[in-house]
Chains A and B, each alone.
Chain A
Amino acid sequence: MSKKINLLVVISGVAVGIAALVLTALGNPANMGFCIACFLRDIAGATKMHSAAVVQYVRPEIIGLVLGSFIMSVATREFRAKAGSSPATRFVIAMFVMIGALVFLGCPLRMVIRMGGGDLNAFVGLAGFAIGIIIGIFFLKKGFSLKRSYEVTKTEGGILPGVMVVLFGLFLAVPTIFAFSETGPGSKRAPVFVALIIALVIGALAQKSRLCMVGGMRDAIMFRDFNLLSGFAAIFVTILIGNVILGKFTGFSTYLQPIAHASQLWNLLGMTLVGWGSVLLGGCPLRQLILAGEGNGDSAVSVFGMIVGAAIAHNFKLAGAAASLSEDGVYSVGGIGTAGKVAVVIGFVVFAIISFMNIAKEEK
């Protein structure tokens, strides 16, 4: 049985890799294709929660992932409406996970996609991500828990899928109410229905395979269970091979990578925050979307927390600036400003407090 599951995780990983390559070829930003943090941030921009003009778009990928998971879980009778596992705490954790991701410029999924694209900065991010996961595991072993959830009404479980349907409906019916980027990453888009359909398929696969970027490393370290890590590896290998075949691979480098900066300390610390927070939440940003699709109200709260985190990141200028080459040839490594650095430090303090305060006392 475990072999079968393994295969499904690998298939899902390969599918995610191919989807990212196809979406990038069809217009999505380079080395992105499929980035949960970036695309939630674009949705926050489109709905005018922040006004960074270059990152505003209603990404059909997010809508498709949630609905794909919803449809698959209903079809296989796995949809279960539940909630009540420290939702406010999850909201705050998710906010800082998003801030960490935008400091690095990508969620764990985009980190893998960037790695496969030859971006060495993402390998620094990976090191940070691993450190964050190890810190998270330390607290899990100490007894950290956000406590159990409870069965709730189907309506509560269907909130995020419902929000996504309404958002997509409005996007098709009255697009003028939203803000859309005319330049920058937010202006780079794959065709709407292609993006939606691909995301529906990936959402369904991810639901069935439990694909999770943070779960892979966590389970490997904690339980010597390499099931989910195989999906992580499959994405990397698929992207790498795909980029080579498409002639887009130009070797591994930190120099001028697409929508990335080379400010390594903050690549590292941003992803440390993401790894730690994701372990506390029980899954990476992608996994939160999928869980919310299958009726988990706590994960829906996490998704809302990430959207608000994205708005905060851009309103307070916390997000990383990509490396750039000016017209007269001056290279800038990019990176983050003072506010972003302070936000990351605050994130660590908040996570430390949450981690210590939620350690369950030993039962006698």
Chain B
Amino acid sequence: MVDARGYSCPMPVVMVQKEVKKNPDSLEVLVDNRTAVENVSRFARNSGYEVSVAEEGGDFKLTLKK
């Protein structure tokens, strides 16, 4: 689980990149702005993950799966 709420880009992507390097099968990411949703999604897809996004009370939960 990566909690990147409150962080502006590129920080959320940097935080996700660090976890993705460990090559997990799935990863949950919390962010609080749509720029981060777009950037993390793009990075995750480029890294071979499928991404689903759910809005939760103004925040966004991204689920990354291989």
For the complex, is A173 an interface residue (Cβ under 8 Å from B)? no
Cross-chain contact A225 with B43 (CB below 8 angstroms):
yes
Given contacts A80-B32, A223-B13, A223-B43, is CB(A282)–CB(B38) below 8 Å? no
Q: What's the nearest-Cβ distance from chain B to residue A274, in Å?
A: 17
For the complex, is A291 an interface residue (Cβ under 8 Å from B)? yes
Cross-chain contact B35 with A148 (CB below 8 angstroms):
no
Q: Which of B6, B10, B13 contacts A148 (CB 8 A)?
A: B6
A/B pair count, beta carbons within 8 Å: 60
Q: Report the nearest B residue to A291, measured CB to CB.
A: B8
Given contacts A223-B43, A225-B42, A225-B46, is CB(A282)–CB(B35) below 8 Å? no
Cross-chain contact B10 with A215 (CB below 8 angstroms):
yes
**B8 cross-chain contacts in A, Cβ below 8 A:** 85, 149, 282-283, 291, 296, 298
Q: Which of A2, A85, A225, A283 contacts B6 (CB 8 A)?
A: A85
For the complex, is A5 an interface residue (Cβ under 8 Å from B)? yes
Q: What's the nearest-Cβ distance from chain A to residue B39, in Å?
A: 8
For the complex, is A166 an interface residue (Cβ under 8 Å from B)? no
Q: Which of B9, B33, B34 contacts A215 (CB 8 A)?
A: B9
Task: Determine the distance from Cα of A148 to Cα of B15 in the docked complex, in whole angstroms.
Answer: 12
**A5 cross-chain contacts in B, Cβ below 8 A:** 38, 42
Annotate B44-66 by CB proximity to A: 1 below 8 A, 0 otherwise: 01100000000000100000000
Q: What's the nearest-Cβ distance from chain A to residue B32, in Å?
A: 7
Annotate A129-146 by CB proximity to B: 1 below 8 A, 0 otherwise: 000000000001100010
Cross-chain contact A140 with B42 (CB below 8 angstroms):
no
**B32 cross-chain contacts in A, Cβ below 8 A:** 80, 82
Task: Determine the distance from Cα of A55 to Cα of B10 in the docked complex, in whole angstroms.
Answer: 34
- Of residues 1 through 44 on chain B, the ones whose CB sits less than 8 Å from some CB of chain A are 5-11, 13-14, 17, 32-35, 38-39, 41-43
